[in-house]
Amino acid sequence: MPDIEKVASTSPDTTTVVSTPTPVATVDQRATTTSDPYAAKRRSASRVVQGIYLVFGVIEALIAMRIVLHALGANPSAGFAQLVYGLTAPLVAPFAGLFGNPQANGSVLELQSIVALVVYALIAWLLGKLAWLMLGESRSAVTTSSTSVETKS
């Protein structure tokens, strides 16, 4: 842009011109980006741990249903009871015969199923911790980059 010129005084022989530079507009733009380089690794490790807990949560729920059905004296020939007993039989089998099962009026307290609940909960916790230690990233860092742009007009 040209300078601003202002006529200060005029005489027949001389013209005095005062020149003032144009004010310079400065626009300062700053952009800052912050990221965590380990976030993706932590996110994937968290998904693996959640998957482990989901699988063992379903196993725990099925065994808990088995305990409740036996404790309430459910009819073992009913469809739902057959389904639950059939799905949980292989899960409780390693603990069969560990304890005797107290019975009263058709209700059975399956102590081996309670032991299975505790053991599978501990296995889930252990596998979750191992997965986090192997896959997870406990470090955290912040990477920051800044850019500045000065525009003069």
Least confident of 85-89, 138-142, 146-150: 146-150
Residue 118 to residue 67: CA distance in whole angstroms: 13
Share of the chain above pLDDT 90, in %: 42
Q: What is the tens place of the pLDDT at every residue in 91-129?
A: 999 998 888 888 888 888 899 999 999 999 999 999 999
- Band of the pLDDT at 15, cuts 50, 70, 90? low
The residue whose two tokens read 């560990």 is: 98
**How distant, in Å, are the alpha carbons of 6, 20, 62, 101, 117 from that of 56?**
85, 80, 10, 25, 10
Q: What's the confidence (pLDDT) of residue 87? A: 95
Predicted TM-score (pTM) above 0.85: no
Average pLDDT, the chain: 81
Q: What is the tens place of the pLDDT at every residue in 53-74?
A: 999 999 999 999 999 999 998 8
